[in-house]
Structure 1
């Protein structure tokens, strides 16, 4: 298709239609991902009771894989507060605690990552 526009009498109309069609499909895909992400966020927000839980839930949409230390640095909450809130999110199956490590565990928003990668 692109080779068709390299000549003096190139088929620019076909190329522009192709490009706009591809752009439209991309926009539709991105909008669906945004809608699914928003639904996931709202589902979790309905379950949460404290400010720290809500703030950390929101943070997992910016940092889908996060440690207690990093979340504490970003939010300025103490590490025990962050750990408690992340464990609460995990108890609701909103995020998943990495079980393979004893220390420096990460908490992962796998559902968001699935939405992004689809």
Structure 2
């Protein structure tokens, strides 16, 4: 997994940036506010690890480099998706003020889970 981390990060970033960019570019056409556009982009970023692992397992790609890259990217996308859900729910309560803790705290918690849980992986 560590050997493919850069490639997995690039794949995950694409899976996050494309839906977010799309939602913000199409938001004005739909009359959506920036918060609504962000929420729509966050919803589009969500991946399904179950679906990813099922497709990789049935196709026999789990143990290949492609399978490792895709599963790692899906995990990274899910972590970022959880952070975005927390941000959207926090902004929904008080959209007028965005405290740094709303973004930084879930990011640090997720990073801690990756660092602490990363050593137990057998791949």
TM-score category, normalised to shorter length: 0.3 to 0.5
Give the helix-richer structure, 1 or 2. Answer: 2
Give the strand-richer structure, 1 or 2. Answer: 1
TM-score, structure 2 length as denominator? 0.32
The higher relative CO (CA closer than 8 Å, separation ≥ 6) is in: 2
